[in-house]
Amino acid sequence: MLKILGRLSSVNVQKVVWAAGEAGQAFERVDIGGPFGGNKEPGYLAKNPNGQVPVLEDGDVCIWESNSIVRYIAARYGAGLIWDEDPARRSEADRWMDWAICELQPAMTPAFWGLMREPATADPARIAESIARTEQRLDMLEAHLAKGRSYLGGERFGMAEIAVGPSVHRWLNMPVERAPRPHLQRWYETIAGREAAGLALPLPIT
C-alpha cells in the first residue's frame, strides 16, 4: 500500500492523493506539515531534506517533489489511465505540470496566504498584484482550452489535470473577483466530478 505523508490542505499533497486514486491504488495518508508539524523532525528530513510535503513511500521507494511523485504513480500504476507511453503526447502533460508549479502556483500563493491563511497581517497591494498575475495565467488556460480541447493534453484526462486542477480548484473557491472563463469552468467541472477528485479536493479550502 502507498503511504502519503502530508496534510490534505496542501495543493501538492492533493495532486498525489488524486493520482493514487486515478491509478486505483490504495493508500494511507498521514497528516504532516502546517498545523500538524512533523516536517522538520529528523526522521522526516531524512526522507525529504527540504522539509516540505508531500513524500510518497512505496515499499522501499521514497520520493519527494509532488510532480515527480505524480509521474512515478502514473508510470508505475497508471498506464492506459493517466500515463501516455508516447513521448510527444506525454510532453503535453509534462509542460502543463511544470507550468503549474513554476508559474501558476507562485502567482497565486501571495493572494491565497493573504486572504485565507494570514489575513490579519496581509499586504493588500501584494494580494492585488498576486490576483492580477494569477488571472493572467488563467487566461492562458482559457485560451488553450478554447481551441476545442476537452483536456489540457487533448481528448484524454491525464497528469496535467492532476497537476493543474488543485490550483484551479483553490482559485475558483477563493473570495476574489475573477474574469468569466467558460472553457476553464467547463474543464474544471468535468475533472472535479471524477470520483478520485472527490477525495483530493476538499471544501472549504484552507
The CATH number assigned to the domain holding 193 equals 1.20.1050.10
- Give yes or no: residues 91 and 179 share one domain: yes
Q: Rounded to 5 degrees, what angle do the CA atoms 142, 201, 40 make?
A: 115
Do 100 and 48 share a structural domain? no
On the question of pLDDT at 194 being above 90, the answer is: yes
Q: Which of 45, 77, 109 is the last residue of a domain?
A: 77
What would the mean pLDDT of 155-177 be, rounded to a whole number?
A: 97
pLDDT, tens digit, 9 for 90 and up, residues 168-184: 999 999 999 999 999 99
The total number of residues shown for the chain amounts to 206
Contact 108, 130 (CB under 8 A): yes
Q: pLDDT tens for residues 78-114? A: 999 999 999 999 999 999 999 999 999 999 999 999 9
**Global confidence as pTM:** 0.96
Residue type, 111: A
Asked if 92 and 185 sit in the same domain, the reply is: yes
pLDDT tens by residue, 106-143: 999 999 999 999 998 999 999 999 999 999 999 999 99
Burial of residue 42 (CB within 10 Å: 0-12, 13-18, 19+) is: exposed
Residues 121 and 150 in one domain: yes
Q: What is the mean pLDDT of the chain?
A: 96
- Strands 61-64 and 27-30 turn out to be unpaired
Residues 6+ positions from 193 with CB-CB distance below 8 Å:
none
Question: For 100, which DSSP code?
Answer: I
In a domain, 82, yes or no: no
Which residues are bridge partners to 151 per DSSP?
154
154 pLDDT band, cuts 50/70/90, is confident
Residue 41 within any structural domain of the chain: yes
Whether residue 31 is predicted with pLDDT greater than 90 in this model: the reply is yes
Same domain, 91 and 180: yes
> Domain holding 45: CATH number?
3.40.30.10
3-state secondary structure of 26: coil
